[in-house]
Every structure is written in structure tokens, then in C-alpha cells.
Structure 1
């Protein structure tokens, strides 16, 4: 009902939750980490625009501010640019050695 109050289809809540769960697990394990980091960024930016932006900066404000989602969007951007680490279960193939 909350998503519908924002003008979004109700099923998009389940789609978003599922993708965040799968993406979070993939990031922890290091499986297609760069792909999932890139695909999770728009979800967080959408949450800032649709929900948290009007509540102000600090996340402890009523309805949560945009501080926490912005931090995670920035962290995912760094993760997407830097790539997965040496302990990833499926490391990205690197050319030249």
C-alpha cells in the first residue's frame, strides 16, 4: 500500500525487496558483484527521490532522511568502479595478468 501511495505499482515493492536481497547476498559473496552494485544504485537513488528526499538529510528524522541511502549509493558506486576483491567467489576476469 505504501508503494501505491507513491504512485508506484504495488508489485514493485516485492520486486525491489527481492532484488535488494539477491543483490546484497551477491555482493557479500562476490558473485557478479560489479553488476549487482550497478543495478542497486538506481533503487537507492529512487528511494531518495520518492521517499527520503522530503524528510531532510539526517536519517533519524521522521520518515528517514536521505543520508543513509545516499551513503550506500556512493559506496555501491565505489564498489562498481573498484570491482570485487581477491576473496570473491567469482572474481571478475582481468586482462593482462
Structure 2
């Protein structure tokens, strides 16, 4: 089982590089973290996790501050549940200064 993510800057139409991402478990304990690469991806946020509820917290405020863009959301937290601990879970984030969207990717 792996968790991956991909952040796209929907306004610029480009990958969002350098976004800090933290994975937390149901108790809000940090499991792992990293930053998106030049393609806006983290290929393996985590591996070998049991089924349960997890959160990916994206530091969107720092990302937009680096770009000099005012933004409404200082962070985005996506809460999801892993039912099949053997499956790959991909959590994309489409980002703009005043909105965001996510879905279960493949």
C-alpha cells in the first residue's frame, strides 16, 4: 500500500512545486511528510499503513506567499479513509488562492 499526491496550481496551469505536505493519522499524529517535486508530486507519502482514517495537510499559505499571491486558505486538509490496506491511494489537489478541489485518483 502506498499513498501519493499531486498538487496542481489551477490558476497558473502548472504543477505546484515545493508544497509542504504532512500525513497525519486519526489521532493527528504525524506519520510522514515531504514537499512536492518540480512536477507537483510526492510519489510515496507513505507505505505500509494499516486501514484507518488519515489526513493530508497541504501548506498552501506558504506556497502562495512564495509566489507573492494573497490566498484565503493557509492550509488545506484532506481527510480520507483507507479500507483496503493493500491498495494504492492517490490524493490529488487542484489549488487556487480562493478555492480547491480534490478527488480519489488512481
Report the TM range for the smaller structure's normalisation. Answer: under 0.3
Tell which structure's C-alpha radius of gyration is larger: 1
Relative to the length of structure 2, the TM-score reads 0.20
Larger RCO: 1 or 2 (CA < 8 Å, sep 6+):
2
Relative to the length of structure 1, the TM-score reads 0.21
Q: Which has the higher strand share?
A: 2
